[in-house]
Structure 1
């Protein structure tokens, strides 16, 4: 299973996602793509199998992934303080991969109708969702 983790800013959410996925689903191949080198480095340090940075890396990664994981802003152009370009958001949205979005309400994008969970609880929910999808592929 090829999992693409996308993050921006300092890569904190992506770092936690990569670490939790690698620990719980060791056979997953995790590619980390940061919108900047700081985010990429954080996810690589957390155990990503592969890593790249920038807009084209997001576009190419979305073509090859089975599952795309990241903050919900990854599908909103100009989100995450402008680090998500329209091309990135379109690539994620148009990908054939399953998308698992962490509902973070930041940068004037407010998500309603979801439980107010801690980041760690959301990370665990992501892992359980991926495990469920992995079980359905077998």
Structure 2
């Protein structure tokens, strides 16, 4: 089972997700970290991802190989993250056969009904729980 974390900018969210997944999932699961830039990729490598790559080409090539994709909602909104999310990145994620577990961060003034009042920590905990359920059995989580 291959779990892919995708992040941009400084990789703060991605590194927290990788670290949490490393603690949550058995070693049978491979954690692939894809950054929209080198800083995000390096942060996720430091958090324990086994395979790391960066850039639009890497995301386009490797995201479709994942069984589960974990990212913020911003990663499917072209132009988000100060323009780091290209239309190609958003399309690649949306068209991937993988289950997508997206955190509803509200940084581009997109309002997601039903997510009010949730802290980043609560969102990350819920995300890790949903990934654990998604891979249950396959990775003996």
Q: Same fold (TM over 0.5)?
A: yes
Task: State the distance in 2 between where 1:98 and 1:136 align.
Answer: 15
Task: State the distance in 2 between where 1:115 and 1:67 align.
Answer: 25
5 Å matches for 1:1-138? 1-27=1-27, 28-135=29-136, 137=138
1:136 is displaced (CA, Å) by: 6.1
> What is the root-mean-square deviation of aligned Cα atoms in Å?
1.4
Q: Provide the secondary structure at the position in 2 that maps to 1:82.
A: coil
Which runs of 5 or more structure 2 residues have no equivalent in the other structure?
A: none
Aligned residues: 138
Contact 1:81/1:107, CA 8 A, preserved across alignment: no
Cα deviation digits, residues 58-95 of structure 1 (max 9, x gap): 11122100000011011111111110000000000001
Cα deviation digits, residues 30-60 of structure 1 (max 9, x gap): 1111111111100000000110000011111
User: What TM-score, normalized by structure 2, do the two folds share?
Assistant: 0.92
**More helix per residue:** 1
Task: State the distance in 2 between where 1:122 and 1:74 align.
Answer: 16
Which runs of 5 or more structure 1 residues have no equivalent in the other structure?
A: none
Task: State the distance in 2 between where 1:68 and 1:61 align.
Answer: 11
Of residues 24-33 and 45-54 in structure 1, the stretch that sits farther from structure 2 once superposed is 24-33
User: What TM-score, normalized by structure 1, do the two folds share?
Assistant: 0.94
1:107 is displaced (CA, Å) by: 2.4
